[in-house]
Structure formats: structure tokens, C-alpha cells
Amino acid sequence: MSNDNIDNIHGNTSNSETNDILDSPITENEIQQAVSTQNNEKSSGPGQIPAEIIKAT
């Protein structure tokens, strides 16, 4: 979900528009953005994989 879509969710969108945004496929760019903003020396999720490992792959 792009930042534009996130802004739309917080704006004046209808439930239908919000559902369309939330149901849209996750893009490779969104994944890259999420991974790049993770803090180093931190782990998320039950696998406890450090962010550095995820960023390196």
C-alpha cells in the first residue's frame, strides 16, 4: 500500500474505497519500504529474525 493509499484511508473515504485499498495486493515496493524502515538490532514476529538478515536477503 503506498503512502497515498494510507493517506486516503485516514481521509474522507467511503467504506467501499477503504476496502478496495486494503484488499489490493501488496506490492514489491511496499515490502521494500517496510523492510528498509525496520530498525537494526531488532526482530519482529515469532521467528525472531534480526532486521539485518531480512535486509541482506
Full-model pTM: 0.54
Place of cell 523492510: 35
Q: Which residues of 10-37 are buried (b: 16+ CB within 10 A; e: fewer)?
A: eeeeeeeeeeebeeeeeeeebeeeeeee
**Into how many domains does the chain fold?**
1
Provide block-wise average pLDDT over 10 residues at a time, the chain (57 residues). Answer: 58 75 92 89 84 87
46 HSE (CA, 13 A, CB side)? 0
DSSP 15: H
Q: What is the pLDDT of residue 16?
A: 85
Question: Which residues neighbour 30 within 8 Å (Cβ) at sequence distance 6 or greater?
Answer: 1, 2
Q: What is the pLDDT of residue 45?
A: 79
Which pLDDT belongs to residue 54?
Answer: 86
Please give the residue range of the domain that contains residue 9: 3-56
Return the pLDDT at 6: 61
